[in-house]
Amino acid sequence: MSKYDISQRRACKLVSVDPKTVRREREPDNPHIRKRMREIASQRRRFGYRRIELMLAREGIIMNQKKLRRLYREEGLAVKRRRGRKRATGTRTPMPIPDGPCMRWSLDFVADTFGAARRFRILAVIDDFTRECLALVADTSISGQRVARELDRLMRLYGKPETIVSDNGSELTSRAILEWQNERGVAWHYIAPGKPMQNGFVESFNGKLRDECLNEEVFDSLAHARSILGRWRHDYNHIRPHSSLGGLTPAARRSLELDGSTAPDALAKPQTMNYGKARLSL
């Protein structure tokens, strides 16, 4: 190459040598970022490079988006489009057991109709420790940005939770929610797909909401539905006795914890989460 001023590829072809045998193997650039990207992708299998970028930014790793996309492709982390029915893809890290109010919130969506079969959705948010229903937000459409605004409102009323638990719905895995987590510093636990009992507290609450309210009422309008849900939520929190709380109401349970009073013996038992055949009572 130095004598005849020709390229490496041309020289290798003339002497019948594979270029790979003479080229120096270079180590991949940014190995620590590649490693962290693989770790995030193994835990959140449906996250693309944009959402991984938000997760890295939360840890103080900020880099050019084009470079991050190149590393993402080189590591073979591209998300494959699913076809056919949904299938469970594994479990996540076990959730911490709450031992006080406002430590872990759970949220989920419930659907119903009003008027001439007009569908609307209800965002339910509960405190897993006190079993208190923090919000029942009803609307014809609830986006990720709307969920983030409602969570900000609840944080002003009840304080900042340590963890929020939800399923993998599109609204709850949206960019708006990921940015909200990053800005507020709230840990978010996504249950494994196809495993609703990993979010058993809110699933049990949904059953009570459906049985005691939604199936008992015929809603004329969205405003009517919001009025009925508001009254039922007040009854659920302040009047309805809960067997899992020793006959107390969620509001009384919260007051006991905030005042430091002695709770009944039924409440002294440790809270447990069974991801198998669990029966959670509200």
- Per residue in 19-31, pLDDT (tens digit) is 877 776 677 888 8
Q: Give the pLDDT score at 116.
A: 79
Q: Is residue 62, in this structure, part of any structural domain at all?
A: yes
Sorted by sequence, the CB contacts under 8 Å of residue 236 that are 6+ apart come out as 133, 208, 250
Say if 169 falls within a structural domain.
yes
Phi, psi of 218 (to 5 degrees): -115, 115
CA 260 vs. chain centroid, Å, equals 31
- Residues 6+ away with beta carbon under 8 Å from 61: 33, 36
Q: What is the pLDDT of residues 62-95, one digit of tens each?
A: 989 999 999 999 998 887 776 654 443 433 456 6
Q: Is 42:90 a contact under the CB 8 Å cutoff? A: no
Predicted pLDDT of residue 83: 63
Q: What is the pLDDT of residue 281?
A: 40
- Alpha-carbon distance of 39 to 33, in angstroms, equals 10
Same domain? For 160 and 219 the reply is yes
Say what percent of the chain tops pLDDT 90.
40
pLDDT value for 261: 59
> What is the number of structural domains in the chain?
2
Boundary of a domain, candidates 40, 62, 78: 78
Structural domain range at position 165: 104-247
Q: Which stretches does DSSP call E strand in the chain?
A: 104-114, 118-127, 133-139, 163-166, 187-190
Residues 51 and 123 in one domain: no
Question: Is 267 inside any structural domain?
Answer: no
pLDDT at 82: 64
Q: Are 147 and 229 within one domain?
A: yes
Tell me how far apart the alpha carbons of residues 117 and 206 are, in angstroms, rounded to a whole number.
21
Arithmetic mean of pLDDT, 119-137: 93
Whether residue 167 sits in one domain with residue 120: yes
In the predicted model, is pLDDT for residue 110 greater than 50?
Answer: yes
Q: 45 vs 211, which has greater pLDDT?
A: 211
Statement to judge: residues 118 and 230 lie in one domain: yes
Same domain, 73 and 108: no
- Do 35 and 158 fall into the same domain? no
Q: Which pair of tokens denotes residue 198?
A: 């990993």
Distance CA 160, CA 162 (A): 7
Nearest CA-CA partner of 135 in 98, 106, 95, 165: 106
208 C-beta neighbours (distance < 10 Å), count: 16
Written as six digits, the tokens of 39 are: 């770790």
Q: What CATH number does residue 122 fall under?
A: 3.30.420.10
Predicted confidence band of residue 282 (pLDDT cuts 50, 70, 90): very low
Q: Which residues on neighbouring strands pair with residue 161, listed in sequence order? A: none
Bridge partners (DSSP) of residue 262 are none
